[in-house]
Amino acid sequence: MFKIINSIIMLVLPIIPKSLIKIFARQYVAGTTIKESLAIVKKLNDNNLYATIDILGEHTKNINEANEITSNYIRLIENIKKNNLKCNLSIKPSHIGTDISNDIFNENLNKILNKAMVNNNFIRIDMEDSTLTDISINTYKSINSQSLGIVLQAYLYRTIRDIKNLKNNSNIRLCKGIYNEDPNIAIKNNDKIDENYLKLLKLLFKKQIYVGIATHSEKLISKSIELINEMNINRDSFEFQMLYGVPMEKTINILLENNYKVRIYVPFGPLWYEYSIRRIKENPNILKYVIKNILNKIKEALL
Ligand code: FDA
């Protein structure tokens, strides 16, 4: 059923007016400006939630653009500090330069990281598709800073080796992985990904590595809590992370009531349209989620 709906939407996607798509995107995107995104972070903080901001965009081809994005991240750090917000940054390597050269990526990442260190903030390298896994992990390891973390994806077969090779002072966000990867390198079955997720989480805990448990899956969240209890993991060794706009209020409230730390990933930026369309084309599953959430809202309104 979803496959048919997906195919129809994919066909009509190019002719849907931008204004209509904006209505749906608004739920998941925190505006187009720094000011708008910070206002949302403030609201989240007021509700005892931490945040991480991402400027939407990827695969920057032009050096001036990559430098401008870098400056915007630096401006964000200044504003987070000025407004005393509980918020760090999430950055896609290809957004700040990997498509131009590894040197440009390194240079820009270091500029942002230095600013973060001075301002007592933290940068997380988001993980993109598998063409960028090596450069992202190698750069992360070579910098070796407590103010820098990275994302690892449970769908990749290589992730277990990557974790085994990490130092204990690493800081990892563990997610399932969003890109459409080749079955030779990635697990395709959702239950098997969940299984691997828990196995990797256990290994991260064993290695005493700080983990951002990034998932909306109720099953994974409760299994993670079981594991935390079983292994007697300290509450300052992990946090839960979710994407802005995904309707998780009930679960978030339960987590907060039980004194777990929860961080919301807040994406914003002028390129929201191009970014959303490209990501939907790459992975129509995102549409499945959006449709499911809309149907749930309609169902709740009717009950
Ligand atoms: P699952 O796919 O089983 O989803 C559970 C339920 O959550 C769905 O049924 C749906 O209701 C809801 N849901 C999930 N994703 C949704 C969405 N986008 N919109 C609306 N509803 C949604 N991936 C990656 O490759 N690199 C990265 O750097 C990151 N970073 C990242 C940060 C954070 C904070 C999160 C939460 C996720 C990521 N991801 C990511 C995405 C991640 O890899 C994964 O694809 C999605 O989170 C979906 O998987 P779940 O674990 O949520 O479970």
DSSP E strands in 65-147: the ranges are 87-91, 123-125
* Structure tokens that stand for 159 in this block: 């992730």
For 199, what's the count of Cα atoms within 13 Å in the CB-facing half-sphere? 15
Of 132, 148, 128, give the one whose Cα is nearest residue 140.
148
Question: CB of 177 closer than 6 A to ligand 1?
Answer: yes
Q: Which atom of ligand 1 is nearest the CA belonging to 126?
A: 28
Question: CB of 246 closer than 6 A to ligand 1?
Answer: yes
Alpha carbons 105 and 96: distance in angstroms, whole number: 6
* Structure tokens that stand for 279 in this block: 């990501």
pLDDT of residue 272: 80
pLDDT of residue 184: 98
* Residue reference for tokens 């599953």: 285
Residue 272, class by beta-carbon neighbours within 10 Å (0-12 exposed, 13-18 middle, 19+ buried)?
buried
47 to 36, 86, 141, 252: CA distances (angstroms): 17, 11, 34, 10
Ligand 1 pocket, mutate which of 174, 176, 255 (most atoms under 8 A from CB): 176
pLDDT of residue 148: 98
**To which H or E segment does residue 259 belong?**
none
8 Å CB contact between 123 and 112? yes
Give the residue whose CA is nearest to atom 3 of ligand 1: 217
pLDDT of residue 12: 67
DSSP E strands in 182-300: the ranges are 210-214, 238-243, 262-268
Give the residue whose CA is nearest to atom 50 of ligand 1: 215
pLDDT of residue 282: 62
Question: CB of 181 closer than 6 A to ligand 1?
Answer: no
> How are beta strands 123-125 and 50-55 bridged, if at all?
unpaired
Question: CB of 265 closer than 6 A to ligand 1?
Answer: yes
pLDDT of residue 278: 67
Could you tell me the mean pLDDT of each successive run of 10 residues in the chain, 303 residues long?
Answer: 63 70 78 96 98 96 97 98 98 98 97 98 98 98 97 98 96 96 97 98 98 97 98 97 93 97 96 73 69 73 70
Question: CB of 251 closer than 6 A to ligand 1?
Answer: no
Question: Which residue in 126, 162, 194, 263 is the catalytic one?
Answer: 126
**To which H or E segment does residue 88 belong?**
strand 87-91
Give the residue whose CA is nearest to atom 1 of ligand 1: 217
Q: What share of the chain is helix, strand, coil (3-state, %, to 5)?
A: 55, 15, 30
Q: Is 99 a catalytic residue?
A: no
Q: Is 75 a catalytic residue?
A: no
pLDDT of residue 289: 73
For 67, what's the count of Cα atoms within 13 Å in the CB-facing half-sphere? 4
Of 133, 209, 146, give the one whose Cα is nearest residue 172.
209
Alpha carbons 273 and 271: distance in angstroms, whole number: 6
The answer for 212, left when phi > 0, alpha when psi is -120 to 50, beta otherwise, is: beta
